[in-house]
Structure formats: C-alpha cells, structure tokens
A and B are shown apart, each in its own frame.
Chain A
C-alpha cells in the first residue's frame, strides 16, 4: 500500500513536502518513483530514487527545484517541491518500482495527492 500526503494549495514560488508511506513490501529493496498528472492531462514521470538512495533522477521540468529522498527506517518516500509554478499543479502519485533491478517502471500506485499552485 502507498499512502501519499502533504498536498495542498501553495502560492507561486512556494514550497511543499510530499510524503508517501509504504507498507506491504520490502521498501528498502525497491526504487521508488513520483509521477504526476495535471488536471485533465496525461501522465508525466517526475522523479525516481534507487533502492537505498543510491541514485536520484529528475525530469528536466523539475530539475533543480524538486528533491526526492527516502527514509528506509520509516518506509517513507518524500518529494520536496520548491520554487513552485502554476504548471506544477497536478496530482502527484507515489509509485513502487516493478522489479528490484529496474527504475522508472511503476507497478503499484498510491491514490495521489493534489498540489495546486495559485495565488
């Protein structure tokens, strides 16, 4: 199970921290991903973090503004969103990686948390 939290309304230029509490699998063994979906739009991969935090990867659209991290002791994934823009408005999904050896391939998805950037 993946349970996101932390979304909400934030002004342009503001910050948020999204959290994703994971359960039911060996969290530390899998890479994890964030995928977002703007209202009425398609899916966009945002960021991935390898198992045990060995590597982090970002879409160009968020590089330098978002930071992905994980706390394996708490089975929790994070996404720190800074310098937010209107185009960051979206549902943010936490996703589990399909296999221990892959990255960027979600199998299970959380229910999502809505981030709205507006003044």
Chain B
C-alpha cells in the first residue's frame, strides 16, 4: 500500500496569516496519462470530510481561492493564503494512484 505522510500534525495560525501543510507519498502518484492522483480533504469538527482539491491543484466546486495545492510525484503541499476562522479542522491528503486509496494521518489546524 502507498503510505502518505503529512507534516506537521498540528498547526496554530493567526487569522489572516498563511498556512502550509506537506504531504509525502511512498511512491510516485504520477500516472502514465499525466494525471497525478493526490487529493486534499477538510474535516470540520463534527462534520463529514469535504473535498477541497483534486489532482494536486484543482479546487473543488465552491472552495475559496485562498486554498491552493501544488507538488509533483511524491511531494505535495496545501497552502492557505490567509487563514480564516472557518478553516479550522483536520486536513487530510489522499492518494488514489492505486487501491487501497490511502490517507495521511491528518493535520489539525487551529486558530491562535
């Protein structure tokens, strides 16, 4: 199975400041067709996870443009340009290069 490793595991951010989460995979997530199967989800407290970013950098419907994703092959980053109070929760990266789809451990983002 592909192992996904996120850092840091927790992050405390002042509102209006940027935040960055790293995700590394144990194998390349680049498929021969050029797609890279890396996704980001946010789980707010008491809620189901929601898709934020697909295929490294494509924001899902309704996701604010302060969220951006980047990276390639095995190293990926989720950035929030200016953190808002509604952004608190646990962020997970996930790979679907091969089944089983696997998630990172999660990064808990809190507001200072």
Contact = CB atoms under 8 A, between A and B. Distances in A.
A42 B92 contact: yes
Tell me which of A43, A106, A108, A110 has the highest count of chain B C-beta atoms within 10 A of its own C-beta: A43
Interface residues of A, number: 23
B50 A109 contact: yes
A93 B105 contact: no
A103 B99 contact: yes
A66 to B, nearest CB: 13
A44 interface: yes
A110 B48 contact: yes
B102 interface: yes
Contacts of B43: 43
A112 to B, nearest CB: 6
B103 interface: yes
Interface in A17-48: 33, 35, 42-45, 48
Q: How large is the interface on B (under 10, 10 to 19, 20 to 34, 35 or more residues)?
A: 20 to 34
Contact of A57 (B41, B94, B99): B99
A51 B50 CA distance: 22
A35 B39 CA distance: 15
B103 A109 contact: no
Contacts of B105: 42
Given A98-B51, A104-B101, A43 B92 contact: yes
A104 B99 contact: yes
A110 B41 CA distance: 14
A111 interface: yes
Contact of B51 (A44, A59, A107): A107
Given A42-B92, A42-B105, A45-B101, A105 B48 contact: no
Interface of A: 33, 35, 42-45, 48, 57, 59-60, 93, 98, 102-112
